[in-house]
Structure 1
Amino acid sequence: NRMKQEGKTVIMTTHKLKEVMFASDHISVMRKGKMIATMAKSETSERDLAQLMVGQESVTARTVVREKPLDIPMLVVSGLNAYADQGRKVLDGLHFDVKAGEIVGVAGVSGNGQKELAEVLTGLRSWKDGDIQFDGLSLRNGSIRGAIEQGIAHVPESRMKSGLAGSLGAVDNLLFKTYRSPERSSFGLLRTEKNRNWSQKLVELFDVKTPGIDAPVHHLSGGNQQKLLFAREVDLDPKLMIAVHPTQGLDVGATAGVHDLLEGLRKKGRSVLLISEDLDELLQLSDRIMVMYGGRIVGNMAREEANREYIGMLMAGSEEEDAG
């Protein structure tokens, strides 16, 4: 706005509709390399822009009909403490559970323990004190393979840093967690033709746009990289999906696809721990929302009881509730 007041011209490229409607005077929409429309801000709305962007009904106004979660605790965390590599406490006495068929959202400003929580639950980080029960069994401390074998899937915060190997194709990336299984290998040798057919089916099922299953995945768009990552994790038929900022950097269409995948897991009775800084996403998808601040859970509420202002205050550490 200051640059505009100084007489300068600003061109802003973004897929965030609220950002567009807040800052722009005129808006142009591109889809698949073509300019679809140009209009003054006063002539359009978020819903109209979303339809133009994805070529279908807006995903921003859809209503989700959901059943009540099963009263079966899938994940139970008690008195969990964990420390950063430098010795600083990053998780401080966490107590919470996630039921079967439930999406639990985790809100918080980045750096308040959400990343470390995901790492602990997926075996990437060991914990100091506390207990984690998953599907009635104790979760092994710091065991990545143990988490995978017990049925925990993980979509990490950075898909290209922690989720996918950019120089490899779809086949290798899809095999990362299952190459030891009898379906994927025999006597230590990969079942090449069978694995390629399986990979092609997954690419088609999850609508991953790629030049071919051998094309390096760093050539794919962010949305297609994320769909490939979800294809691998969902194909494991997990009991618990831990998704960290799963729609970060994605356009409206790709975001809707990710949301559908998470809703699909919920409908199958699976559990989802959704870690996100997008309050719209959390309020739309979650059955329950926890708020983290300073490594602690400072709020735990049903979605019907949640509101943006209160969650924002908890995220800023301005007040806390007894999270139980």
Structure 2
Amino acid sequence: MVGKEIAAQRELPARTPGRMLLEVNRLEVMAEHGRKALDGLSLSIRAGEIVGVAGVAGNGQKELAEVLTGLLPWRRGQIEFDGKPLRNASVRGAIEAGISHVPENRMKSGLAGSLGLVDNLLFKSYRSADRARLGFLRIGRNKAWGQRLVEEFDVRTPGIDTPVQQLSGGNQQKLLLAREIHHDPKLMVAVHPTQGLDVGATEGVHRLLAKLRAEDKSVLLISEDLDEVMQLSDRILVIFGGRIVAELNRGEADREIIGMYMAGLHGAEEEAI
């Protein structure tokens, strides 16, 4: 149906994670209307592993992603990334530290639909000497660079100047990943990275995330698709009420147990026993 054979389930080769890359300790974040979105949340990620966050929408996943990518300040707690404290609410600081972001809504927060592919690829690199000189963009060089990225990530488009809003959802997501991966991130924060994509595009996104892991990069995968989390993650963290309430290794993952933690039933189950 998609013109090629699709792997039914991606098998990640076993590997030993590397150095500690991210440590989040007792993080408190306020959301709208004065409620606590994150309530003493702690987690850690090592180099070369995919850590999945499973949970029902509205339990702090959005705020966790926004804090780590510099979009949202935190009230209390500490974040240490690659051995250094992460600055509070600094998008540029997160980018310079080596954190890339695939947001939940690619067309609202990740891409500018009315602009062409090259302009969207330039959003994080237009200040660099390769992309601009004396304050002016290197138009010819940037188009050639953009074409190379489009070909490398197999973005299907009528032309390099085509408005991004005219691309299919799968090609929009591949363009977004091309931009984020091109920056050689140490950590990719991917929020619902395959939401709304067909089976072929989904497999392509999974392949790119697995490739980052193989290159000793880390991925924080936030998804409401439990199959996706279980298929790709080395460790699974379950979030409920703004806290991590369970951690399971890949071999321990069980849909029923994870589902109970996602629903906040773990405590009630223990009391019933």
TM-score, normalised relative to structure 1 = 0.81
Q: Tell me if the contact between 1:287 and 1:303 (Cα under 8 Å) persists in the aligned partners.
A: yes
Correspondence list, 1:67-78, <5 A = 67-70=15-18, 72-78=19-25
Runs of 4+, deviation exceeding 4 Å: none
C-alpha distance in structure 2 between counterparts of 1:287 and 1:304, whole Å: 9
What amino acid is the match of 2:103?
P
Residue of structure 2 equivalent to 1:212: 159
C-alpha distance in structure 1 between counterparts of 2:48 and 2:66, whole Å: 22
Residue of structure 2 equivalent to 1:93: 40
C-alpha distance in structure 1 between counterparts of 2:94 and 2:32, whole Å: 21
C-alpha distance in structure 2 between counterparts of 1:143 and 1:85, whole Å: 20
C-alpha distance in structure 2 between counterparts of 1:115 and 1:155, whole Å: 12
| 1:95, distance to aligned residue in structure 2 (A) | 1.2
Q: Which of these residues, 138, 156, 168, is aligned with residue 115 of structure 2?
A: 168
Where 2:56 maps in the other structure, the secondary structure is: coil
For the aligned residue pairs, the C-alpha RMSD in angstroms reads 1.1
Residue of structure 2 equivalent to 1:317: 264
* Percent of residue pairs bearing the same amino acid type: 66
Where 2:219 maps in the other structure, the secondary structure is: strand
C-alpha distance in structure 1 between counterparts of 2:84 and 2:114, whole Å: 37
Residue of structure 2 equivalent to 1:154: 101
Long gaps (5+) in structure 1:
1-52
| 1:62, distance to aligned residue in structure 2 (A) | 4.3
C-alpha distance in structure 2 between counterparts of 1:62 and 1:146, whole Å: 34
Residue of structure 2 equivalent to 1:252: 199
C-alpha distance in structure 2 between counterparts of 1:295 and 1:245, whole Å: 18
C-alpha distance in structure 2 between counterparts of 1:95 and 1:185, whole Å: 40
Where 2:32 maps in the other structure, the secondary structure is: coil
Residue of structure 2 equivalent to 1:38: none
C-alpha distance in structure 2 between counterparts of 1:62 and 1:99, whole Å: 21
C-alpha distance in structure 1 between counterparts of 2:150 and 2:215, whole Å: 21
Where 1:126 maps in the other structure, the secondary structure is: coil
C-alpha distance in structure 2 between counterparts of 1:187 and 1:56, whole Å: 46
Deviations 1:27-71 (A, max 9, x none): xxxxxxxxxxxxxxxxxxxxxxxxxx223223224433232222x
C-alpha distance in structure 2 between counterparts of 1:298 and 1:237, whole Å: 32
Structure with more relative contact order (C-alpha pairs < 8 Å, separation 6 or more): 2
Q: Tell me if the contact between 1:101 and 1:267 (Cα under 8 Å) persists in the aligned partners.
A: yes
Moved more, 60-69 or 285-294: 60-69
Is the counterpart of residue 197 in structure 1 residue 135 in structure 2? Answer: no
| 1:87, distance to aligned residue in structure 2 (A) | 1.4
Q: Which of these residues, 194, 215, 227, is aligned with residue 174 of structure 2?
A: 227
Where 1:196 maps in the other structure, the secondary structure is: helix
Residue of structure 1 equivalent to 2:2: 54
C-alpha distance in structure 2 between counterparts of 1:166 and 1:149, whole Å: 25
What amino acid is the match of 2:220?
L
What amino acid is the match of 2:205?
V
Query: Greater CA radius of gyration, 1 or 2?
Result: 1
| 1:243, distance to aligned residue in structure 2 (A) | 0.1
Where 1:54 maps in the other structure, the secondary structure is: coil
Is the counterpart of residue 285 in structure 1 residue 232 in structure 2? Answer: yes
Q: Tell me if the contact between 2:6 and 2:203 (Cα under 8 Å) persists in the aligned partners.
A: no
Q: Per the alignment, do residues 115 and 102 of structure 1 end up closer, same or farther by CA in structure 2, a change over 3 Å counting?
A: same
C-alpha distance in structure 1 between counterparts of 2:9 and 2:2, whole Å: 14
Q: Tell me if the contact between 2:70 and 2:89 (Cα under 8 Å) persists in the aligned partners.
A: yes
C-alpha distance in structure 1 between counterparts of 2:158 and 2:223, whole Å: 31
Q: Tell me if the contact between 1:59 and 1:252 (Cα under 8 Å) persists in the aligned partners.
A: no
What amino acid is the match of 2:68?
L
C-alpha distance in structure 2 between counterparts of 1:203 and 1:285, whole Å: 25
Size of the aligned set, in residue pairs, is: 268
Q: Tell me if the contact between 2:10 and 2:231 (Cα under 8 Å) persists in the aligned partners.
A: no
Q: Which of these residues, 83, 92, 97, is aligned with residue 30 of structure 2?
A: 83
